[in-house]
Structures are given as structure tokens and as C-alpha cells.
Copies of this chain bind each other. A is one copy, B any other.
């Protein structure tokens, strides 16, 4: 594997990199960001937190607005932020150019439907190819992984962790889509990428996965009460019920007056990273 360092900036004592590489999963170039805390300079491997972004985002949104570096520097965490879809010439998009499907909206699945099946293989990308690359190229301790994400990326974090719980010592999410099969964003995406095969949908729906027996030890979720998508797309009460029924320890923080933006995420990022760090020691 060869990687190209697109940019490198010193920040909070560590190194913020943006990295490009050719992805065999998606058949395109892919760009991600990775923050190496100051502790990375002293040798040895460090725990890694994966951050999956939401609709319309690239790696850049959280890298610029997420306010994660101070906490990662303090706790000695590597922080990796992948893109949200394949991009580039020949990669199909939503036929109408909508923001919630296609480019910037890969939903962390391996599509089976034409014309998306060729490139939209974000599941394989974030669960296999990118971790393998990070493990080789950076001092990441793959025995100490945590995962989080926002909105569509919160969906990604929950489903990735529920399907491979032993890999993650810590799982959290900001304003996640918890039951895509039951909400418009998810129905459009899963329908578009999988067609009407609802058994495929269930493997990419956190609430359905829990209903079908998937388990993680505990979950941390923050969501704002002023989030415009709370009632139509996020429906955290569905996750609460599923976790209660399954005996999963869910700590859900309803944050009064916060919306869906990075102003919300950045406010609670340090809390989440401390929570991850405690579990990744």
C-alpha cells in the first residue's frame, strides 16, 4: 500500500495529517485525516478512535470543526476520519443530485445495486481496508480501538461495532441515525444501495441488529433537543427501547438546546474522547 501525505500541520503538540491513497474497495482514490498525538513521537503503539462523518461531509469537516485535537493530545489517542463516500470521475451520484444519497452519503454499506455496487463499498473500506492501512502506516494499537460518528456516521459507528463487537472497546455516537429502515434518510439509502431486500437492510440498522441478537457492552450517545432531525430521522427512543430490551447499557444524554451541527459535536467531543480513553487504557 502506498499513501500520499496531502498535508501535515503541527497542532496541539501532535501531527494532523491528511492522507490520500488508492482504494481497492471503492476503486477510487480515498482521502482521510489522521491525528497523531504528541505521545506518538515517543514510540510504542497508541489506541485509535475512528470517527465516521455524516451526510455531505468529507474528512475535512470534523478535522476543521471537531475540536478533538486537544483531548486526543491529552489522552494519547490517534483519531482517524474517513470520507463518507467514494468520489471521482465515473462514480455515480444521486440521479437528482440530492445530498442524502450517493456522493457524501455512502451510509457505510457495500451496495449491491447497479450502478452503485462497483464503487460504493464503504463497509469494506472502513471495516477492512482502511484499518489494515492505518495499522501498517501508523503507530496504531489495533487491540485498542474505539469508534464514534455523527448522524449517518453515528449509524456507521453503531452498526460497525454491533457486527464486530470484540474489535471495539468503546462505542459512542453523536446524534446517530439508529434505525435507518424506519426513517426517510435510511429508507432512501438502503433502498438505493440494496434494493428491496430487507434482510440486507437489517444488517445495517442498529436497532434491527440488536433485535436480531447483536450486542455491545455499552454505548454513549449524545443528541441535541433542538436537532431538526430528532423526530423524523434520528428517533433515539428506538435505540433506548432496543437497548433496554437487550440489556445493553446505553447512556444517552439529551442536550438541551443543541442542534445537529458541529457546534453541538465540538461541545461534547472532549467528553466522548475522555469516555473512550478510559476504556482504551
A154 to B9: give the CA distance in the assembly, Å. 21
Q: Which residue of B lies closest to A224 (CB)?
A: B10
Shortest CB–CB separation between residue A154 and chain B, in angstroms?
19
- Residues of B close to A263: CB separation below 8 A: 9-11, 16
> Are A259 and B10 interface neighbours, CB within 8 A?
yes
Q: Does A258 contact B (CB under 8 A)?
A: yes
A105 to B75: give the CA distance in the assembly, Å. 39
Q: Which residue of B lies closest to A259 (CB)?
A: B9
Interface residue ranges of A107-133 to B (CB < 8 Å):
none
A267 to B263: give the CA distance in the assembly, Å. 18
- Residues of B close to A16: CB separation below 8 A: 263
Q: Does A261 contact B (CB under 8 A)?
A: yes
Q: Does A13 contact B (CB under 8 A)?
A: yes
Interface residues on A, range: 20 to 34
Interface residue ranges of A239-266 to B (CB < 8 Å):
257-259, 261-264, 266
A267 to B15: give the CA distance in the assembly, Å. 12
A96 to B250: give the CA distance in the assembly, Å. 58
Residue in contact with A64 in the complex, picked from B13, B64, B69, B267, CB distance below 8 Å: B64
- Residues of B close to A267: CB separation below 8 A: 10-13, 69
Q: What would 6 A/B residue contacts be, using CB atoms closer than 8 Å?
A: A9-B263, A10-B267, A11-B264, A65-B65, A67-B266, A69-B266
17 new A-B contacts, CB < 8 A, other than A10-B226, A11-B264, A64-B65, are A9-B261, A9-B264, A10-B224, A10-B257, A10-B258, A10-B259, A10-B263, A10-B264, A11-B263, A11-B266, A12-B267, A64-B64, A65-B65, A67-B70, A67-B266, A69-B267, A70-B270
